[in-house]
Amino acid sequence: MEFTLALPGALLPPEFPATQRAQLFDGAPLPRLQKLVGRSGARQTLDCDIATAAPLECWLAQCFAIPAGLSAPYCAALDQAPVAAQACWQLQPVHLHIARDHLVLTDPALLHITPEEGAALCASIAPLFAELHWQLHATQPARWYVQPPTPLQLQAGSPAAAIGRNIDHYLPSGADARQWKRLMNEVQMVWHTHPVNEAREARGELTINSVWLHGGGSAVPIPQHQFDAVHADTHYARALAHASGAESGPPYPAPRLTHARTLQIAPQLQEAWMAQDWYRWREHWQALEQDFFAPLLLVLDRRILKRLTLVLCGEAQAIEITLTPNDLWKFWRSTRLENTLVEYHP
């Protein structure tokens, strides 16, 4: 039995001062995690092009042997969208807010778009896409798909990579970028005074003022699945599981050891990491220590697990740490935890 635990938001930024790293965990030890990290025998570092995808997305793409950033055809298949078997793009309704001299993408999960809002907003921009012969399908309130009449020559960043950042570095680029930006501006103008947004603003909610195009291309066959089950709260991870023939479902509050090869993505750290609330981030690590690392260390020590893999993700990097039961006896291996939980860029 093998278990993989992926942790987005697990790595401190490289500029985080070394003295503060030690202080962060002072008086709040994580002995099980320390043992797992310190005794590990195999480590791999994946450096990601964050203009395309977030580190967790890059790592998942590598696991399932597909290009990083390609998500639309797999997500469309899971959503049973009419464009599922064809080249398509994801279209995400989003909120952009103004920073000092640039626009920033707000986490789309904070919008809580209702089915009625999604339908009304989609209907209002459908003529813009129809005029260009783009097929537009809103299968979910906040998850739409488009299929242009000919393949687009674009490179675009995923929303997960762009959240909280200057969108200039993540917007589509390439030969067809000008056409897309013109269409994007037209959508923004239609929605600027849309009744849905007027009602949301009156309730004190974030408006839905733009769309985010990403993940485009044709599906690449996944040769074999690396996992028998995937437990995750991201649609992308579940879509890849579905495409590979693996079971998928929501994450559990503890390790779920029901299959020979299981991937679980624990989202607990991500929100505090995005907010740079490092003390709340540390509290989540303490909860993971009890809920995940204690039972995982136990089943690894008892050889119920043949292999345990931890995937620690940061801003532009993912570190994969692998352990076997024999590694736990190699006490001469030692790595300080505060030095492991930090992104490193030479």
Q: Is residue 248 part of a domain?
A: yes
- Distance from C-alpha of 131 to C-alpha of 151, rounded to nearest angstrom: 17
How far apart, in Å, are the Cα atoms of 106 and each of 85, 163, 171, 259, 285? 30, 6, 14, 36, 25
Residue 81 shares a structural domain with residue 26 = no
Residues 294 and 184 in one domain: no
Same domain membership, residue 213 and residue 78: yes
Query: Does residue 116 surpass a pLDDT of 60?
Result: yes
Same domain, 211 and 100: yes
Report the C-alpha gap between 328 and 326 in whole angstroms.
5
Q: Facing residues of 230 across strands?
A: 248, 263
Q: Is residue 309 part of a domain?
A: yes
**Per-residue pLDDT tens over the stretch 81-113:** 887 667 899 999 999 998 788 899 999 999 999
Burial of 87 (0-12, 13-18, 19+ CB in 10 A): middle
Boundary-marking domain end, from 217, 245, 267 = 217
Q: How many domains, in total, are found in the chain?
A: 2
Question: Residues 316-344: what's their mean pLDDT?
Answer: 81
Q: Could you tell me if 76 and 213 lie in one domain?
A: yes
Of 41-55, 125-139, 225-239, 269-283, which gets the smallest average pLDDT? 41-55
Shared domain check, 162 and 179: yes
For position 50, what pLDDT does the model report?
Answer: 81
Within this chain, do residues 98 and 50 fall inside the same structural domain, yes or no?
no
- Phi, psi of 29, rounded to the nearest 5 degrees: -70, 155
Among the three residues 169, 185, 217, which one is the final residue of a domain in this structure?
Answer: 217
Q: Tell me: the pLDDT tens digits for 310-326?
A: 999 999 999 999 999 98
Residue 346 lies in a domain: no
User: Do 112 and 211 have their domain in common?
Assistant: yes
**Which pLDDT score, from 0 to 100, does residue 208 have?**
97
Q: Is the residue at 345 inside a domain? A: no
238, part of any domain:
yes
Torsion of CA 295, 315, 223, 221, to 10 degrees: 140
Task: Tell the residue number behind the tokens 């067809």, with chain if given.
Answer: 176
Query: Which pLDDT does position 189 carry in this prediction?
Result: 96
Report the pLDDT averaged over residues 261-283. Answer: 92
pTM over 0.85: yes
My answer on whether 81 and 176 are in the same domain is yes
* Residue 282 belongs to some domain of the structure: yes
Task: Verify that 237 and 322 share a domain, yes or no.
Answer: yes
23 within domain boundaries = yes
Q: Are 188 and 266 contained in the same domain? A: no
207 occurs within a structural domain: yes
Quick one: 109 and 134 in the same domain?
yes
User: Of the residues 186, 217, 248, which one is the last residue of a structural domain?
Assistant: 217
Q: How far apart are CA 51 and CA 48, in angstroms?
A: 9
Q: Identify the domain containing residue 81 by its residue range.
A: 72-217
pLDDT bracket for residue 308 (50, 70, 90): very high
Least confident span in 67-76, 165-174, 246-255, 336-345 = 336-345
| 112 vs 50, higher pLDDT | 112
pLDDT reported for residue 313: 95
In sequence order, what E strands does 134-208 have?
135-140, 143-147
